[in-house]
Chain A
């Protein structure tokens, strides 16, 4: 399964599953990063250590390490 970390800049995907539990999951959900949400990757920091994504109208920065818990599919 493809994760958000595998996505290139400017690619648009839909979230299939959050492969994590507990606080991180709650945190992601409270930012609107949840199943069914459409996500666009805007920018990568070097080595994908941090990425900027767009969910709805909101831009969110998160670490590559967290992005790899987010399963996505192409739209």
Chain B
């Protein structure tokens, strides 16, 4: 606990630490959002939450710390996210578990519940999605269920906030009372073996925090931790043969050679029993649910993929067409803002720093906020409706050919928004090789910060009705390149056998407006915040580097020349020449000139080279740098006020294509590189990634430049 917390809550006795556990996609994160003012990421597919997150809130005189954990089907540890949950439950210190279950699929959800009940922890069950259950005509008798399994069961709905207070109340009460003795009943043959083990443990007065019954169950299930603990005890010698005998009996009874399978069947039978007792399905189930009807179209063997491509195409079309409507206004606003602010500043240098540095740089980035918002809305819909898993289903066959796992689709799509959460969400991949492979190609999925560069260039070189298509083509070719890169890596660096693909397909849900609004707002605010801080700072740096050192002699010689001529046009040309030369002689110009030979084969001038190098920090900086550089260079030219105009005038088409190719492929940004390194687990992978993306980017851009030059 931090010192700040201590100040707010001096009475530590009223602290309750709650671990939120449940199967994936049952609404754990949403439940936390509805009790506190947190905005945890919510989405309609399994594996949204991949890391534990703590949320603090107060209720009456209690201070709650709720830990949101990744969903898990059973207490296993195949994937990293499952490991996070399992480890947390077994090793961390917490007071109580809220087991969140999906009321519309009770029997399946109880599978995890019955596992939790064998741990020596206080448990409260939240029967979530009660609103949906009601719509489907499912009635759960919560009181009866409480009685049957000996654990408080509370009906709640994270969506409508029904029952939330009762749930918190129940947690508080449970916290005060003693541990419950859950009533988990097995078949007769298993009960016999349990009784025998309990009798034995009791005879030797074995010292344990967990009840003897739970210890016995865990032993029979082959729970590694319980084994490890008992293994060092003297009673082990006698216990072991009893255990082996008991296991044999159970396996025989279940006609299986796998005790885990036998126990899964035991649990399933228990759960079926509970569900049969407490559940009442009022409506007769339709032959096909709505979800299945929608699925028969959306994952149709022939139409499925074209429909998906059509959605993507529409999204980029919208991004361009609608996103560009406010662009002129934003651009006008920043020009006006710059002029107004500029008029109040006397000092030439400071004025230039503010107007040409900060305002031009930040303005260039903010200009694309509408486009980014539309992209974010698209991703939020994909995540919120349940379509995400369908696309993973559709693409698995295709992905598989390229050595990728169908579920890789989820981090890859997240990558279209931002690479950082995408690197995190690769944790849903079970196998380390698959995960590393996916990590390496996430960068090929162009993140939101690259969208401005694409919009800028496609807007500069194509008519508005074509630009949307170009945008779509850029994204698709990026993804294609990614797939090819995956194949190459799979054949060379990440050889190995394929992993199974088993994935839940959630039911379709219509995300509420509020949910979409919050998701998009959070992401947009992050973009704006970055523009206001990091990008503004970078723009200042770029401005400084491009203005100094001042060459006073040069300025003087030009100024005398300008004064001599009478012709206005001549004057303008001279002024432009002056600022161009000044720029070239600046620090930045020198850096650019120095690296120009490296980029010359790709057709880049020094300004483009500098923008690319600055882009290693963040992709938004590419646009802001171009904004600063062209704002400075073209100060006097009133006609090409807009950056788009400046670009179409100063950059040749083949160079622009090569530039886009590099942006598409090379490192996403500094922050993402750090997360990549952390997720990959070793710094060497960062150097691999850097080398890999730089080489591919260079080679592809070289090809693109020469092919386009040849064709034109």
Query: What residues make up the interface of A, taking CB atoms closer than 8 Å to B?
Result: 18, 21, 23-37, 42-47, 49-50, 52, 54, 56-63, 65-66
Contact = CB atoms under 8 A, between A and B. Distances in A.
Contacts of A44: 301
B223 to A, nearest CB: 14
Contacts of B261: 18, 25, 29, 34-35
Given A30-B74, A45-B397, A60 B505 contact: yes
A31 B396 contact: no
Interface stretch (B292-300, B309-317, B443-451, B661-669): B292-300
B258 to A, nearest CB: 7
Contacts of A52: 295, 299, 393, 505
B504 interface: yes
B41 interface: no
A45 B502 CA distance: 14
Interface of B: 73-74, 76, 78, 104-105, 107-108, 111, 256, 258, 260-261, 264-265, 268, 291-292, 295-296, 299-302, 304, 389, 392-394, 396-397, 400, 406, 498, 500-507
A15 to B, nearest CB: 11
A66 B104 CA distance: 27
Contacts of B502: 27-28, 31, 33, 60-62, 66
A6 B393 CA distance: 19
A46 B500 contact: no
A28 B502 CA distance: 8
Contacts of A30: 73-74, 76, 111, 264
Contact of B500 (A42, A59, A66): A66
Name the 8 nearest CB pairs between A and B, nearest first: A49-B397, A30-B74, A30-B73, A59-B505, A61-B393, A29-B264, A57-B105, A50-B396
B273 to A, nearest CB: 14
A29 B393 CA distance: 20
Contacts of A46: 301-302, 397
A58 B291 CA distance: 11
B396 A61 contact: yes
Contacts of A29: 74, 260-261, 264
Given A25-B258, A49-B397, A52-B299, A34 B500 contact: no
A20 to B, nearest CB: 9
Looking at B104, B256, B392, B503, the one whose CB has the most chain A CB atoms below 10 A away is: B503
B104 A60 contact: no
B255 to A, nearest CB: 8
A61 B500 contact: no
A59 B425 CA distance: 22
Contact of A50 (B260, B406, B506, B507): B406
A4 to B, nearest CB: 12
Interface of B is mostly: helix
Contact of B73 (A18, A31, A35): A31
Contacts of B107: 56-57
A61 B389 contact: yes
A59 B396 contact: no
Contacts of A60: 502-505
Looking at B74, B264, B394, the one whose CB has the most chain A CB atoms below 10 A away is: B264
B58 to A, nearest CB: 37
Given A32-B268, A61-B396, A26 B260 contact: yes
A59 B44 CA distance: 14
A66 B108 contact: no
26 contacts: A21-B258, A23-B78, A26-B260, A27-B78, A30-B111, A30-B264, A31-B502, A32-B108, A32-B268, A36-B265, A37-B268, A43-B295, A43-B300, A45-B393, A45-B396, A45-B397, A46-B302, A47-B397, A50-B396, A50-B397, A54-B292, A56-B107, A56-B108, A58-B108, A59-B292, A63-B406
Looking at B73, B296, B505, B506, the one whose CB has the most chain A CB atoms below 10 A away is: B505
A20 B331 CA distance: 62
Given A32-B108, A61-B502, 18 more contacts: A24-B500, A27-B78, A29-B260, A29-B261, A30-B74, A30-B76, A33-B502, A36-B268, A45-B301, A49-B396, A52-B299, A52-B505, A56-B105, A57-B108, A59-B295, A61-B389, A63-B501, A66-B501
A5 B264 CA distance: 23
Contacts of A36: 265, 268
Given A62-B501, A63-B500, A35 B258 contact: no
Contacts of A49: 396-397, 400
Contacts of B299: 43, 45, 52
B427 to A, nearest CB: 16
Nearest to A44: B301
Given A30-B76, A35-B261, A42 B108 contact: no
A59 B291 contact: yes
Given A32-B111, A50-B393, A43 B291 contact: no
A33 B299 CA distance: 22
A61 to B, nearest CB: 5
Contacts of B292: 42, 54, 59
Looking at A32, A33, A45, A46, the one whose CB has the most chain B CB atoms below 10 A away is: A45
A68 to B, nearest CB: 12
Nearest to A27: B502
Nearest to B272: A56
B295 A50 contact: no
Nearest to A18: B261
Contacts of A34: 261, 264-265, 268
Nearest to B302: A46
